[in-house]
Amino acid sequence: MDLNARLKKAPKMPTGVTVEAPDGRIFFLPDAEARKFEIPKSNSYRAFRYLSTHSPIQNVPHKKAKGCKGVLKWLLSHDPDSEFWRQVSVDWMNNC
């Protein structure tokens, strides 16, 4: 039996997305739950995510990089849909 035929006969299961937590755990979120937590499309958040994954913070020897890891950790664990978050992310991008 081909895979498509098997899938057509499979019981209905919820659809959704898998997400990875910063500590490495992986979760399945059904679509209804994922919609509740969806981050609005934001170019500033996309830029932040890119910079946070491509940032050489670990390799920067100067003083100002000392607090950058803590700020990055905060930014990655808080809701980006707020004015305060956006202000902190701009400061992080400019100084780290």
The total of structural domains in the chain comes to: 2
Give me the pLDDT at residue 65, please. Answer: 55
pLDDT per position in the chain (96 positions), as tens? 566 766 677 777 778 888 888 888 988 888 888 888 877 777 777 777 777 776 555 454 444 556 788 888 788 777 777 778 888 888 888 877
- Note the residue count of the chain: 96
Residues 68, 56, single domain; the answer is yes
Cut 0.85: pTM above it: no
Residues 43, 11, single domain; the answer is no
Residues 14, 60, single domain; the answer is no
Give me the pLDDT at residue 62, please. Answer: 46
Residues 49, 92, single domain; the answer is yes
d(CA 29, CA 38): 11
Can you give the residue range of the structural domain that contains 28?
1-38
d(CA 71, CA 68): 5
Residues 66, 28, single domain; the answer is no
CA of residue 60 relative to chain centroid, distance: 23
